[in-house]
């Protein structure tokens, strides 16, 4: 099945105003998909939408704060009943950047809503529609912070760990319904948001950061091939994690087979 038949006619991308989000939007438009673009800032969204339309694709945008409790409902409203065949959950930065006890709990609530609840809710309503059509795809863009707690990043690393486990489980559950799921785990990526974070911390811009256009290309290529891709590593490689993506996927399949055995016993 070609890309547009498998993942079309519309792609929904969160965090689309810049960086990897805008790169994904351009990439899927070039592959023949129309776009629903979601981010907070209206001006960059409007400029990107003009680019997408210049490529001959339809594009709608919505300014939504994905850290608000009603974010998923507003995203669904923006989609407006369009047939979304590809969901790219790209929003999910560390919006607080502090030690846990040094900031008010309301700020951490917003970080969890952005990184966990909104993505989970979007996957639920979009996934049900994809399951009914028996086709579709989801890319959950994550961070290498998912592989362990880090000093000064307690809530962020926990949220990214949730996203990894959630994405892997969806890969296992939804594959039988024709839905591809990829957890795309990034290292340092050369985005405006990352550069702003480095500047605030007084740190220099490092060499060798991933380019957003390469992230989008590789993410779309890996979708449907494997459950997890760690940036800069092959499926048998380790580095971000001591367990390779291939080993993680083998574990997922083993657990799925074991669970199927339990279900069969219960039915008997």
- Over residues 233-253, the pLDDT tens digits come to 999 999 999 999 999 999 999
pLDDT per residue as tens digits for the range 190-215: 777 776 776 776 788 888 899 999 99
3-267 CATH pick, 3.40.50.80, 3.30.70.3270, 3.40.50.720, 3.40.50.970: 3.40.50.720
Query: Mean of the per-residue pLDDT values for the chain?
Result: 93
Task: List, in order, residues 6 or more apart from 60 with CB less than 8 Å away.
Answer: 35, 36, 37, 49, 78, 80, 82
Other CB atoms within a 10 A radius of the CB of residue 30 amount to 13
Q: How far is CA 231 from CA 45, 46, 109, 139, 144, in A?
A: 26, 30, 28, 14, 9
User: CA 185, CA 210: separation in Å to the nearest integer?
Assistant: 12
What is the Cα–Cα distance from 195 to 230, expressed in whole angstroms? Answer: 21
pLDDT at 262 over 70: no
Instruction: Kindly state the DSSP code that residue 210 receives in the 8-state scheme.
Output: B
Q: Indicate if the pLDDT at residue 131 is higher than 90.
A: yes
User: Would you give the distance in Å from CA 209 to the centre of its chain?
Assistant: 19
On whether the CB atoms of residues 214 and 186 are closer than 8 A, the answer is: no
**116 vs 206, more confident:** 116
- Report the pLDDT value the prediction gives residue 192, as an integer from 0 to 100: 75
**The two three-digit tokens of residue 9, written as one number:** 């006619």
pLDDT (average), residues 162-174: 98
Give the dihedral sign, CA 19/143/236/249: negative
Per-residue confidence (pLDDT) for residue 135, from 0 to 100:
98
Which pLDDT value is given to residue 1? 63
pLDDT at residue 141 is higher than 70: yes
- Give the separation between CA 136 and CA 152, rounded to whole angstroms: 37
The H or E element spanning position 230 is strand 228-230
Helix (H) or strand (E) holding 245: helix 245-267
- Helices 192-200 and 19-30: crossing angle in degrees, nearest 10, is 170
Residues ≥6 apart with Cβ < 8 Å to 239:
230, 232, 233
Residues pairing with 142 in the sheet? 185
Q: How many CB atoms lie within 10 A of CB 251?
A: 14
Please count the CA atoms within 13 angstroms of the CA of 10 that sit on its side-chain side.
19
What tokens does 180 get?
């591809």
Cβ 203 vs Cβ 226: under 8 Å = no
**What's the rounded mean pLDDT across residues 27-35?**
98
CA distances from residue 223 to 3, 6, 115, 144, 220 in whole angstroms, order as listed = 11, 11, 21, 18, 5
Quote the pTM value: 0.93
Residue 212 CA, chain-centre distance (Å), reads 14
- Number of other CB atoms surrounding residue 157 within 10 Å: 20
- Compute the average pLDDT of residues 248-265: 84
């Amino acid at each position: 099945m070609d890309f547009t038949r498998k993942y079309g006619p519309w792609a929904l991308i969160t965090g689309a105003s810049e960086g990897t989000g805008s790169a994904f939007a351009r990439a899927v438009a070039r592959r023949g998909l129309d776009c629903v673009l979601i981010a907070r800032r209206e001006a960059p969204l409007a400029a990107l939408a003009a680019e997408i339309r210049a490529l001959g694709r339809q594009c709608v945008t919505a300014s939504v704060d994905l850290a608000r409790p009603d974010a998923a409902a507003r995203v669904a409203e923006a989609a407006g009943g369009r047939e979304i065949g590809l969901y790219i959950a790209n929003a999910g930065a560390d919006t607080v950047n502090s030690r846990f006890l040094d900031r008010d709990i309301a700020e951490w609530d917003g970080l969890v809503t952005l990184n966990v609840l909104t993505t989970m809710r979007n996957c639920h309503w979009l996934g049900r529609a994809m399951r009914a059509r028996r086709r579709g795809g989801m890319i959950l863009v994550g961070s290498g912070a998912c592989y362990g707690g880090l000093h000064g990043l307690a809530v962020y690393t926990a949220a990214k760990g949730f996203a990894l486990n959630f994405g892997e489980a969806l890969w296992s559950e939804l594959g039988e319904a024709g839905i591809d799921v990829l957890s795309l785990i990034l290292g340092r990526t050369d985005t405006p948001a990352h550069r702003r974070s480095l500047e605030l911390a007084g740190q220099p811009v490092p060499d060798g950061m991933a380019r957003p256009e390469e992230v989008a290309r590789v993410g779309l290529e890996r979708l449907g091939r494997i459950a997890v891709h760690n940036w800069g590593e092959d499926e048998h490689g380790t580095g971000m994690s001591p367990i390779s993506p291939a080993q993680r996927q083998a574990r997922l399949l083993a657990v799925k087979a074991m669970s199927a055995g339990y279900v069969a016993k219960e039915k008997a």
